[in-house]
Each structure stands twice: as structure tokens, then as C-alpha cells.
Amino acid sequence: MKKLYWSISEVCELLNVEPHVIRYWESEVTFLKSKRSRGGNRRFDKVLVDKMLLLKELLYTYKLTTKQASYFINKNSDLNDDNIEEKVYAYKKSKGYKEVIKQVTLTDLQGIKKRLEETIELLRT
């Protein structure tokens, strides 16, 4: 018979993270709310454990923030091991481009261009 629920310590062992990490994820990611036993202990079902495995991969392997990973999981319900890398790359490319454009002003770009031109001139001499 398969288990229906795992305790926080079992999930920690499975994910190789500390309990405070899971508690933090629960506070930041809305879809990771665990059920509670009568005694008030957290109980995680297979769906939640699978989502936490995916969340950990997005955070630690693909270096997304918790907010980005949460958004990414919500928008990509058809994720699997075959397409995750491609979808993360597309997500990072689209988000990264927008974030860079918002943060870099024309004056910044002109300053960067000037320093690059000066560096090129130094290298030529």
C-alpha cells in the first residue's frame, strides 16, 4: 500500500532540505499549503511533494527566484522532464529581456558604449 501523506521530516529527507526551507516555501508559494493532522502536524500528499520537487529544481538548478518559480509553475501545467529545460529557457529569455530594458537607461548604455570604445582603442595601441 502506498503512502497517502508524508510528514515534514519525511519530505525534508526526500528533498534534502531543512524544515525551515519547506516552511518558507509554504509562506511564499500559495499552492504549497499543506494539510494538517488533528495534532496540527503538516501532512504532504503526492501532488504537493511533486510540486516541491519541481520548485526545488527551478530554484536550485535553474536559479529562479521563489516568486518566478511560483509564477512559472502556475503558468506551465504541462511540465515534464522532457520539456522543462526548454520552457525555463524561454521563460528566462522573455523575462530577462524585459527586466534589462526596464533597468538600463539610454545614458547607461551610452556610458557603456563609450567605455567599450575606449577599451578597444587601448587594445589597438
Please tell me whether residues 71 and 96 are part of one structural domain: no
Residues 63 and 26 in one domain: yes
Q: Mark whether 63 and 94 lie in a shared domain.
A: no
- What is the pTM (predicted TM-score) of this model? 0.67
My answer on whether 87 and 107 are in the same domain is yes
* Domain coverage including residue 106: 81-125
Verify that 67 and 7 share a domain, yes or no: yes
Residues 99 and 62 in one domain: no
Helix/strand/coil for 43? strand
Q: What is the CATH number of the domain that holds 39?
A: 1.10.1660.10
The number of helices, as runs of H, and strands, as runs of E, in the chain is 6, 2
Of 17, 78, 65, the C-alpha closest to 44 is 17
**pLDDT for the residue 12:** 93
Residues 9 and 40 in one domain: yes
The region that residue 104 occupies, defined by phi over 0 for left and psi between -120 and 50 for alpha, beta otherwise, is beta
Residues β-bridged to residue 43: 35
Per-10-residue mean pLDDT of the chain, 125 residues long, equals 84 93 90 86 90 91 86 78 78 63 67 89 87
What string of H, E and C letters represents the secondary structure of 48-102? HHHHHHHHHHHHHHCCCCHHHHHHHHHHCCCCCCCCHHHHHHHHHHHHHHHHHHH
> Same domain, yes or no, for 68 and 112?
no
> pLDDT for 1-18, tens place per residue?
578 888 999 999 999 999
Average pLDDT, the chain: 83
Q: What is the DSSP string of 5-42?
A: -B-HHHHHHHHT--HHHHHHHHHH-GGGPPEE-TTS-E
Q: Give the span between the Cα atoms of 90 and 115, in whole angstroms.
A: 31
